[in-house]
């Protein structure tokens, strides 16, 4: 006989839960219908032989509480046993978490691997959205500022200075015709250094690669743990033997 494995029990459990809930709901609803629980038997006897004769009337009990209890116990016993088998197996199902041939953690329980899988999905989203440095600039790490910085860039500061342009010299009869215009004159120099707390795109890609490798390793470890052979655990008979004794 082939050994049962944890992944098989996990696959079966969902179906057992669904069927148990459906059958339990039907049983509960049946017990709420008083007409199904009731029966009657009536026979008629005329006052004398000449009186009208009427046929007997009978309604059978269609639902019996004791029978529903037995059915409920049978339904839930299977669910309790499947769940117990899975939970007992989860206590012993373990696998090593290995990345690039290096064991990060030994003997990781399958329940913790499932937790890791969820957390790493969230971490992948977090890392993918990390801000990256503007590729239009060249960045170097500035230890004194403890962040990334660009090379200094020089820009000129100019100021508009008014100038006079004599269009016509003054004469005895007319004043000089002068036009005012403005000339941009350099008055100083700006030295600009940009700073950023973002990360180089290469660094973000490296982090993403690490997260994805670990995600893959967790999936492999989970599959290995779920492939462990398990022993069937029976708890339902004892529990319902006590409950409905």
Q: How far is 164 from 182, CA to CA, in rounded Å?
A: 9
Check whether 1 has a pLDDT greater than 50.
no
Residue 52 to residue 46: CA distance in whole angstroms:
6
Query: What is the full DSSP assignment across 196-240?
Result: E--B-HHHHHHHHHHHHHHHHHHHHHHHHHHTSEE-----HHHHH
- Tell if the pTM clears 0.85, that is, is over it: no
> What tens digit of pLDDT does each residue of 53-72 get?
888 888 888 878 888 888 88
Q: Where are the alpha helices (DSSP H) in the chain?
A: 6-31, 34-37, 65-92, 110-128, 201-226, 236-243
Cα→Cα distances 75→54, 67, 96, Å: 45, 12, 37
CA distance 86 to 7: 9
Is 134's pLDDT higher than 60?
yes
Confidence (pLDDT) at 145: 92
List, in sequence order, every residue forming a beta bridge with 40; answer none if it has no partner.
59
With b meaning 16 or more CB within 10 Å and e meaning fewer, what string describes 152-163? eeeeeeeeeeee
Domain chopping of the chain, boundaries: 1-93+229-245, 96-135+197-227, 152-192
Residue linked to tokens 């409950």: 243
Compute the distance between CA of residue 187 and CA of residue 163 in angstroms, rounded to an integer.
16
Could you give the percent of the chain with pLDDT greater than 90?
Answer: 43
Find the mean pLDDT for residues 71-95.
89
Tokens of 178: 């002068």
pLDDT by residue (tens digit) across 138-155?
999 999 999 999 999 998
Output the pLDDT for position 133: 95
CB 149 within 8 A of CB 182: no
40: pLDDT confidence band, cut at 50, 70 and 90? confident
Beta strands in 139-200 (DSSP E): 139-142, 147-150, 153-168, 177-192, 195-196
């Amino acid at each position: 006989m082939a050994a049962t494995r944890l992944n098989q029990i996990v696959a079966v459990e969902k179906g057992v839960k669904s069927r148990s809930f459906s059958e339990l709901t039907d049983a509960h609803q049946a017990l709420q219908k008083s007409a199904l629980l009731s029966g009657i038997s009536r026979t008629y006897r005329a006052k004398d032989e000449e009186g009208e004769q009427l046929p007997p009337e009978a309604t059978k009990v269609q639902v019996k509480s004791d029978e529903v209890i037995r059915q409920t116990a049978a339904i839930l016993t299977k669910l309790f046993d499947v769940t117990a088998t899975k939970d007992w197996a989860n206590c012993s199902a373990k696998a090593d978490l290995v990345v690039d041939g290096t064991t990060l953690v030994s003997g990781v329980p399958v329940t913790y691997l499932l937790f890791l899988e969820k957390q790493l999905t969230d971490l992948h989203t977090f890392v993918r959205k990390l801000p990256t440095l503007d590729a239009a600039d060249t960045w170097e790490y500035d230890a004194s500022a403890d962040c990334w910085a660009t090379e200094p860039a020089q820009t000129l500061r100019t100021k508009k200075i008014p100038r006079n342009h004599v269009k016509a010299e003054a004469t005895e009869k007319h004043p000089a015709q002068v036009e005012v215009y403005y000339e941009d004159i350099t008055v100083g120099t700006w030295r600009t250094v940009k700073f950023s707390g973002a990360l180089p795109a290469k660094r973000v890609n490296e982090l993403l690669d690490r997260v994805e490798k670990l995600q893959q390793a967790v999936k492999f470890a989970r599959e290995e743990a779920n492939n462990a052979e398990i022993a069937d655990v029976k708890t339902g008979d004892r529990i319902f033997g006590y409950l409905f004794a």
